[in-house]
Structure 1
Amino acid sequence: MTLTRALGNANSGLAAASFRAEIAANNVANANTPGYVKRTVDVTESRLGGQSSGVTVAGVTRTNNPALTAERRQAEASAGRADIISQAFSELNRTLGEPDDTTGLFNSYQRFETALRELTVTPESPALQNALYGTTADVVSEFNSLYNKGQQMRIDADASIENAVTTVNTALKDIADLNQKIISLPDQSTEQAALLDERQLLVDQVSQFVPVKQLPAGDGAISLLTNEGVFLLSGQAREIEFTRTPFIGPGATYDNGAGVLSGLRVGDQDITPGSNGTFAVQSGLMAGYFAVRDEVAFDFLQQVDSLAADLVARFSDDSLDPTKAAGAAGIFTDNGGPVDPTNIDGIAQRMTLNAAVDPAQGGLVSRFRDGVGATTEGPAGDATIPANLLEAFNDRQPVPAGTGLTGTLSISEAVAGVTSLIGEERVRSDAVLSSARARAEILSDAEIAETAVDTDQELQSLLLIEQAYTANARVIQTINDMFNRLLEI
């Protein structure tokens, strides 16, 4: 080997060591940067004329595990859907209240029953008549609030879907732009590695809302399609279509496109979560929002409306109050009238006190004792009507289908049963969330262990790089001394 070739070899080693030091230092600097994965320098032997000619930096490799990343994304999407549903059931459970709570519908029922029972014992007491008025007003207010809560939850979920669609569509366009930039850069360059990190973060973002599969599309570009097989990105981004419904009326549904609510479409493909479509998205935050809008909150409103209709109907029975006009509403009304069996949706919101017993509407609290149709005060000690109302309250009757319950139950038993159903769903959704989160965390930790920067390891690498750099520098110094010696001869 000539001195010139030896000098070239040492120079190439020096350059490679310098580049490796740069990459190692960059790894350490970005150890906590979201989306950054460890880089390693690929060095190969350089040959010239069949002989070794030092080393060449072939490029920079990002440490990744596509299979593990795909699993982690799917697990996080499942956890995201479970989290949305769990939060919804927890919120509804708190709003409805437990049987032993000091607030909530069951508590309102208990106080109403107590006031009614006390009035049957002392029907002449104006204080007890006022107390019963207060508890009936509370029951009405509770139903109104429960309905508004469920309806607002549907409206909020619909708004969240709109925001999610905007986020996903923006991310898809950004990924398409990054694909073009990545294609234009040399393979395994530092610039390309940085763009690959940025793209991975965007794919993660999309997958949180709509789980996707990532496919290579040549020259470093990728395509994305949903787990169910609809392409969201293939060369160009395909827009997800959704139209928000600002006001969601009683009983509004999507109904596979036949209802008033909007679903999700990509071109002519229906990907609406919860629909009967072949390509319906099954997981991710988007699926969670749709589950709340079309299932969780919808079913809750059906249960609340069924309880409200049952209450109005029970106390509208003509046999309870002889002063009431036949077929008219009792002390509870559907917007002033009796229950219309064909129009149950939204009755919890429309429920009011009968104006005859409501002082705020010009009524008299004495009519709780004398009857809603009484034109004059009846006997002060007559507890017939309050006793009839109390019997209706405790009478076991077939429960409305919308409650999700079966059999014959009293009013209190029916509301306790619905409360238990909501509580059971909350516990079940919490368990699903816990399991999904645990799986997502395990996969995330496994991915981090494999792809994240280990600063201790990088510092050790820097020490080895320093040794290589020193050795190559020493070779250059030695060759320089030899050249100087030759010049002296």
Structure 2
Amino acid sequence: MTISGALTNAMSGLRAASRGAEVVSSNISNALTPGYARRVLALSTQATGGASGVQIDGVVRIMDAALASDRRMAEADQTHADSRVQFHTRFETLIGTPDDPASLSARIAGFENSLISAASRPDAPERLVASVGAARDLATGLRDASAGVQAARGDADRNIARMVDELNIALEHVVELNTQITALQVQGGNTATLQDQRQQVVDRIATLAPVREVPRDNGQIALYSTGGAVLIDGTAAVIGFEPVNVVTPHMSLADGTLSGLTVNGQSVRTDSDRGALRGGALAGQFAIRDEHGVAAQAQLDTLARDLIERFEDPAVDPTLGAGDAGLFTDGGAPLDPLDTVGLAQRLSVNSAVDPQQGGEAWRIRDGMNAVVQGNAGDATLLQAFSQALNDPRPVTGGGIGGQSFGAMSLAATLASNIGADRTNAEQILSFATSRLTELTERQLADGVDSDAEIQRLMLIERAYAANARVIETVDEMMQTLLRM
């Protein structure tokens, strides 16, 4: 080997060692940076034009695309499951557990106890007022629970609007990064940093709506939702959604009072089973607004209807005629069996018996349509009300298939069903969280290992020292020759 050849080899080795140290230091400093993929310096033998040495071919970004895709899917599932748990927990809090003094079950028990107390002293006005107050408290509890459910649906609608805006911005960002990566790749530059940025954005998109990443020419990617929607393929799709100010029980996607999603102006499904963007945070909010919230309202409406029907029966209150409102009313009117959606939010005590509405509490003893007070010692109607509250009646709707319940047992059954829904949702969340944790750990293990990088840095230092020694030796040889 000639002296010039040795010098060339050593110089190329120094350049490779210097570049390798930069790559290793970048790996170590970004070991915990989200979206960062480990880099490796690609080297080959340089043997062109009679020269030899080490040639730097570029920096290779190491990432397991399949593992990254699986982790994204797991994170989307975990986010979707978490939204379901949050809603069921919120609904269970609204109706309360049986040991909660403010729960619906406790309010029904309180109403029953007040009727028993009034029946023992029907001549005591304070006991009659207390019974009316307990009935009013029960109606208020159902209205508050219904309002809470609709508030949750309204929150979901606003969250959908926010997520759609975020999704549109993220899709445009990926398109911009695609363009920048292509331009830099054509110029022969290193695109690893731009790819890291793009991965972070795609990860966020996948949390909102699970996507599959498909490579395209010149370093670009396309994104397709798992439901089949094209989100990016050259250009970004535009996701459309129109939020509303307030969500009421009667509003639904089916009747057009609530907005669905559009992709490039075309309506797409949003249900959990076959939605175009199913899975992920966005679908979780649609499930709350259009599925879980609607089912919860139906359960409350079932309980409200049962209460109205129990006390609207002329066999219970002889002062009532056909079509007259009983103790509990639909906003002051008798029950309309064809208009029960949102009934819990309209439930109220008959104004004729409620002193707060200008009525007289003695009517809970003498009848809703009584014109004058009857025998102050007659507890017949109070006892009939108490019996009506406990009589088993067939109940339909609310997820209950035609069984017979007393008011207390119906409330307990609904509370049990709600608790079971929450428990089931928590189990699903636990599985999704475990899966996400496992895949995240696997991806981290495939990422930057600080110990391995330090070992690699030590080898680079040795290579640098060796090449520097070669240059030093060549210099000594040249100095010796010059002195001859």
**Structure 2-normalised TM-score?**
0.96
**Compared with structure 1, are the counterparts of its residues 450 and 188 closer, same or farther at alpha carbon in structure 2 (3 Å cutoff)?**
farther
Task: Give the corresponding residue for 1:267.
Answer: 264
Q: Supply the AA of the counterpart residue of 2:444.
A: I
Task: Give the corresponding residue for 2:327.
Answer: 331
Identity of aligned residues (%): 39
Distance across 2 between alignment mates of 1:313 and 1:296:
26
Distance across 1 between alignment mates of 2:476 and 2:369:
120
User: Secondary structure of the equivalent of 1:356?
Assistant: coil
**Compared with structure 1, are the counterparts of its residues 35 and 276 closer, same or farther at alpha carbon in structure 2 (3 Å cutoff)?**
closer
Task: Give 1:326 deviation, angstroms.
Answer: 3.7
Distance across 2 between alignment mates of 1:259 and 1:412:
37
Task: Give the corresponding residue for 2:14.
Answer: 14
Task: Give the corresponding residue for 1:98.
Answer: 97
**Compared with structure 1, are the counterparts of its residues 460 and 322 closer, same or farther at alpha carbon in structure 2 (3 Å cutoff)?**
same
**Compared with structure 1, are the counterparts of its residues 417 and 405 closer, same or farther at alpha carbon in structure 2 (3 Å cutoff)?**
farther
Task: Give 1:443 deviation, angstroms.
Answer: 0.7
Contact 1:45 1:52 in 2 (8 A): no
Task: Give 1:162 deviation, angstroms.
Answer: 0.8
Task: Give the corresponding residue for 1:38.
Answer: 38
Task: Give 1:292 deviation, angstroms.
Answer: 0.7
Q: Supply the AA of the counterpart residue of 2:453.
A: E
Task: Give the corresponding residue for 1:447.
Answer: 443
1:230 paired with 2:213, answer: no
Distance across 2 between alignment mates of 1:209 and 1:190:
32
Aligned with residue 484 of structure 1, among 460, 479, 484: 479
**Can you give the 5+ residue segments of structure 2 that lack an aligned partner in the other structure?**
none
Task: Give the corresponding residue for 1:249.
Answer: 248
Task: Give the corresponding residue for 1:219.
Answer: 218
Q: Which moved more, 1:338-347 or 1:367-376?
A: 367-376
Task: Give 1:276 deviation, angstroms.
Answer: 7.6
Task: Give the corresponding residue for 1:472.
Answer: 467
Q: Supply the AA of the counterpart residue of 1:454.
A: D
Task: Give 1:401 deviation, angstroms.
Answer: 2.0
Contact 2:85 2:429 in 1 (8 A): yes
Task: Give 1:429 deviation, angstroms.
Answer: 0.5
Contact 2:226 2:276 in 1 (8 A): no
Q: Supply the AA of the counterpart residue of 2:6.
A: A
Contact 1:305 1:345 in 2 (8 A): yes
1:343 paired with 2:339, answer: yes
Distance across 1 between alignment mates of 2:303 and 2:47:
85
Q: Supply the AA of the counterpart residue of 2:134.
A: T
**Compared with structure 1, are the counterparts of its residues 198 and 58 closer, same or farther at alpha carbon in structure 2 (3 Å cutoff)?**
same
4+ residue runs of structure 1 moved beyond 6 angstroms?
Answer: 187-190
1:149 paired with 2:144, answer: no
1:313 paired with 2:309, answer: yes
Contact 1:150 1:297 in 2 (8 A): yes
Task: Give 1:54 deviation, angstroms.
Answer: 0.6
Task: Give 1:325 deviation, angstroms.
Answer: 4.3
Q: Which string of whole-angstrom CA distances, capped at 9 and with x for unpartnered residues, describes residues 343-397 of structure 1?
A: 1111111111111111111112122112222232221210011111111111111
Q: Supply the AA of the counterpart residue of 1:265.
A: T
Task: Give the corresponding residue for 1:459.
Answer: 454
Task: Give the corresponding residue for 1:289.
Answer: 285
Task: Give the corresponding residue for 1:115.
Answer: 114
**Compared with structure 1, are the counterparts of its residues 295 and 476 closer, same or farther at alpha carbon in structure 2 (3 Å cutoff)?**
same
Distance across 2 between alignment mates of 1:368 and 1:120:
10
Q: Which moved more, 1:314-323 or 1:152-161?
A: 314-323
Q: Supply the AA of the counterpart residue of 1:83.
A: D
Q: Supply the AA of the counterpart residue of 1:264.
A: L
Q: Supply the AA of the counterpart residue of 2:374.
A: G
Distance across 2 between alignment mates of 1:198 and 1:71:
19
**Structure 1-normalised TM-score?**
0.95
**Can you give the 5+ residue segments of structure 1 that lack an aligned partner in the other structure?**
none
Task: Give the corresponding residue for 2:356.
Answer: 360
Distance across 1 between alignment mates of 2:466 and 2:70:
44
Q: Supply the AA of the counterpart residue of 1:110.
A: A
Distance across 1 between alignment mates of 2:200 and 2:228:
22
User: Secondary structure of the equivalent of 2:47?
Assistant: strand
Distance across 1 between alignment mates of 2:298 and 2:290:
11
Q: Supply the AA of the counterpart residue of 1:27.
A: N
